[in-house]
Structure 1
Amino acid sequence: MSDSAYRVETTSRLAQWRIDNLASCTYRKSDPFKIGKWNWHLSVEKNRMLFVKLYPEISNLTRDNPPIASFIIRVVCSVGDRKSLTHPEITDKQLKNNDDFVWSIEVPLTGKFIIDVEFLDLKTASPDGGEPCSIWAEGFPRKRSNATALVCLGRMLTESIHTDIIINASDGSIGAHRAILAARSPVFRSMFSHNLKEKELSTVNISDMPMEACQALLSYIYGNIEHEEFMTHRLALLSAADKYDISDLKEACHDSLLEDIDAKNVLERLQNASLYQLPNLKSSCMRYLVKFGKIFDIRDDFNAFLQNADRELISEVFHEILGAWKGF
């Protein structure tokens, strides 16, 4: 049996283990695969029933900070009409060893099948005994190298201290500082350095952003954006980052959008990846749809995508599908 029989493919928060054949009485354990901070294993045991287990690899990290996992796990028959069995959603379950999650399946399974695990969240216990903390909120790119300066910049914005330019959003206005905008964006710097209307009138019109999203953009520029605010306005911030050439914001949005690709957002993410030239996001969306077979789960949405998406992007998707078929 080749090593590929034990390999688990991963992307973003999704893991898939493809099993070509399982004898009537047998046990199989996957190679380790990394999701979040931990290495994980899947195992299957077939006797009178099929037992599926998901657990973290034993390590000092697991002993000291066992994952508190929320996930959806499915077994999908990979031939014919792709029948699937889905375990009820697991929420905030601490996993320390290979007996903490066991799924007993009575339905007989033959031939090829896929074990599909979609991690919704991974948390660790709070060191001060408070609520568990999501590990995917820990990496939020908020600069803390000079906390005092950031607080002062934030106050300049929120308290309108000596503002000298007005930002007009689609449904409101807010004061800002042209020096700070110019320092963060070469596009703003060009506006204020030449005899353009923005310099003459001391206004910048951002008519394609509502006030809340515009406030989030300024909060990022001034260094005092909150994680929830960032997550709420990621796509609008990505568009603004591209428009005003704020490369660090574009990278932050890109990294964040890579982390939680799922069936509800994958087509929108794919179109944004194409629009804003984000090759890693495009590749991850393609893998999710094609290599992991999720295109079968969103047929109606995909049909609507085919009616409205850019022709070149549609062509890329079909080339990806054809390439995957050649591998079988």
Structure 2
Amino acid sequence: MSTGSTGSAGDSKVETIARLGQWRIESFGPCSYRRSDSFKLGIWNWYLSVEKNRVMLIRLYPEPCRLTKEQPPLARFVLRVSNTAPGRRCCVSPVHEKVLRGSDDFVWQVDSMFHGRFTVDVEFLDLKIASIIGGEPSPIWPDEGMLQSLASRSSLCCLSRMLSESIHTDVMIHTSDGNLRAHKAVLSATSPVFASMFLHDLRENQSSTIDINDMSLGSCSALLGYIYGDINQDDFWKHRVALLAAADKYDIADLKNCCEESLVEDIGLENVLERLQEAWLYRLARLKKACMSYLFEFGKIHDLRDEIDVFFRQADRELMVEMFHEILAAWKPI
């Protein structure tokens, strides 16, 4: 337990632990005023004061200083006043959320009067730095989102080590030019196709091997990198078409969406027909629409006369019909 500084009065210090400050007042008369020593919670020093005349008032405020001026606290807190005499009484304030800069920013009028020995507790439920220019406040304590982010990073680090160091791997993957080791549980959690392989009495389950002969060692490595959360941007861009095919084959929807998004980003003359074919083959509506728009709405088909002849000789009949309708829609008679 840490404590605030001690003043001349023995009952002026505030004990602190975690997010709780507790001020034990040993003697308090019917008409009195008392202020605590400063105590630190979060990045600020705080004061509590009690004033009693006809009513009882409790104030909570940060120490006036440059820090408070430049980084004022936005506090969410609750106060409690209780005595230790027989027939213990306790008054609890509502939960307050306020920007606190001075002693007039928060005053709680207690519904009951307390004399002699009693305790004032302040519990901070949250503390943030309020923006002085109107932006979002900054938390000083980890919130649930931050905790989740830390936990996710830790889990990904563990998965990455499991793959890179072959920790308890239990399945061998045969690619077109090499072998890789992985984990049945991780693959099954990612893909319903892999899950089905290992759930039923299939060859892959019996032999603990998977043949992925339509992928190179590099592209399959990129696939595992994605599954285990350890793929880098360069590998993704280099192997994204192969990753798209694998995502479609093994029903990995989030990877398929990621590949489509990436392929839409860099459509150009040198790849638009190839992208259109991929969009048709893997049922990628957004990529197909972007390619059609590039070719017909923006008129780039006129720059691909030779290439389009070759494309039409190889393209699927239904795709050619769709392209014909796009030509008619884009054509505007003079």
Shorter-chain TM band: 0.5 to 0.7
Residues 176-218 of structure 1 show CA distances to partners (whole Å, capped at 9, x for unaligned) of: 0000000000000000000000000000000110110000000
Shift of 1:323: 1.3
Paired residue for 2:285, among 250, 266, 279? 279
Q: Does 1:310 align with 2:316?
A: yes
Specify the alignment match of 2:180 in structure 1.
174
Could you tell me how far apart the structure 2 residues matched to 1:294 and 1:191 are? 45
Tell me if 1:240 matches 2:246: yes
Could you tell me the percent identity over the aligned residues?
57
Partner Cα separation in structure 2 for residue 203 and residue 326 of structure 1: 57
Unpaired runs of at least 5, structure 2: 1-148
Counterpart residue number, 1:148: 154
Distance between the aligned counterparts of 2:161 and 2:308, measured in 1? 46
The DSSP-based 3-state class of the residue aligned with 1:233 is helix
| C-alpha spacing 1:259/1:200, structure 2 compared with 1 (3 Å) | same
Q: Does 1:163 align with 2:169?
A: yes
- The whole-number CA distance in structure 1 between the counterparts of 2:165 and 2:315 is 43
Counterpart selection for 1:212 from 218, 238, 248: 218
Closer, same or farther in 2 for the Cα pair 1:168/1:144, shift >3 Å?
Answer: farther
| Aligned counterpart, 1:255 | 261
**Secondary structure at 1:160's aligned position in 2?**
coil
Q: Distance in 2 between matches of 1:145 and 1:221?
A: 17
Where in structure 1 are there 5+ consecutive unaligned residues? 1-142
For the pair 1:188 / 2:194, whether they are aligned, the reply is yes
Give the direction of change, closer, same or farther, for the CA distance of 1:310–1:165 in structure 2 (3 Å limit). same
Displacement of 1:149: 1.3
Partner letter of residue 295 of structure 1?
I
Aligned partner of 2:302 in structure 1 is 296
Question: 1 CA distance for matches of 2:272 and 2:244?
Answer: 16
Measured after TM superposition, the shift of residue 158 of structure 1 is 1.1
Distance across 1 between alignment mates of 2:290 and 2:155: 37
Matches within 5 A, 1:46-85: none
Relative to structure 1, the CA distance from residue 234 to residue 306 in structure 2 (aligned partners, 3 Å threshold; closer, same or farther) is same
In 2, the alpha carbon distance for the partners of 1:321 and 1:156 equals 52
Q: Which structure is richer in relative contact order (CA contacts within 8 A, separation 6 or more)? A: 1
Aligned residue pair count: 186
Bigger-Rg structure (1/2): 2
Mapped to 1, the partners of 2:176 and 2:197 lie a distance apart of: 20
TM-score, structure 2 normalization = 0.54
Deviation at 1:152, TM superposition (A): 1.3
- How far did 1:326 drift? 4.2
AA in 2 matched with 1:251:
N
**What is the one-letter code of the residue matched to 2:296?**
V
Cα distance change, pair 163–283 in 1 and its aligned pair in 2 (3 A): same
The one-letter code of the counterpart of 1:152 is C
Give 1:147 shift. Answer: 1.4
Partner of 1:224 in structure 2?
230
* Aligned: 1:265 with 2:274: no
Give the CA deviation at 1:151.
1.4
Q: How far apart, CA to CA, are the structure 2 residues paired with 1:150 and 1:275?
A: 32
Superposition CA RMSD, Å: 1.4
Q: What corresponds to 2:329 in structure 1?
A: 323
The CA deviation at 1:295 is: 0.5
- Listed as ranges, the matches of 1:1-80 within 5 Å are none
1:146 Cα deviation (Å)? 1.6
Distance change in 2, residues 1:144/1:257 (3 Å): farther
3-state secondary structure, aligned to 1:146? helix
Pair 324,201 (structure 1): closer, same or farther in 2 beyond 3 Å: same
1:172–1:144 Cα change, 3 Å: farther
Q: Secondary structure at the match of 1:253?
A: helix
> Could you report, residue by residue, the CA deviation over 1:259-299 in whole angstroms, capped at 9, with x for unpaired residues?
11111110011011111111111011000000101001111
Query: What residue is the counterpart of 2:209 in the other structure?
Result: 203
SS in 2 for 1:168: strand
Task: Look up the SS of the partner of 1:155 in the other structure.
Answer: helix
